[in-house]
Amino acid sequence: MQKDSGYAWVVLLSSMVINFMCIGFCFGIISVLTYEYQVEFGADLTQVSWIGSALIAVLLVSGKFVESTHQYVQSYICAASIATQAANPRWGELS
């Protein structure tokens, strides 16, 4: 068995940081926007809490899809995010 010369720890730590950032971003967005959804739609917390759950679910489920199609999906994700931002006229009003 060959010794890895320490590079495996760099990969491990960088993947942990990336996962912490992605999940932290999702939880941060959920906590900020939940109040805005309550005000906008006049709903209580139980009616808008599914939005945050759906965000985390899409993040976790999409990993398997991206894993199997990683060479093709990157350009489609960029195009979809650009189209989503361009199609939403109220994108800047949330901040």
pLDDT at 28: 80
- DSSP for 16-76 reads HHHHHHHHHHHHHHHHHHHHHHHHHHT--HHHHHHHHHHHHHHHHHHHHHHHHTHHHHHHH
pLDDT at 11: 83
Higher pLDDT, 25 or 74: 25
pTM above 0.85, yes or no: no
Q: What does the pLDDT look like over 29-59, one tens digit per residue?
A: 787 888 888 898 898 888 888 888 888 788 7
Q: What does the pLDDT look like over 65-78, one tens digit per residue?
A: 666 665 565 666 66
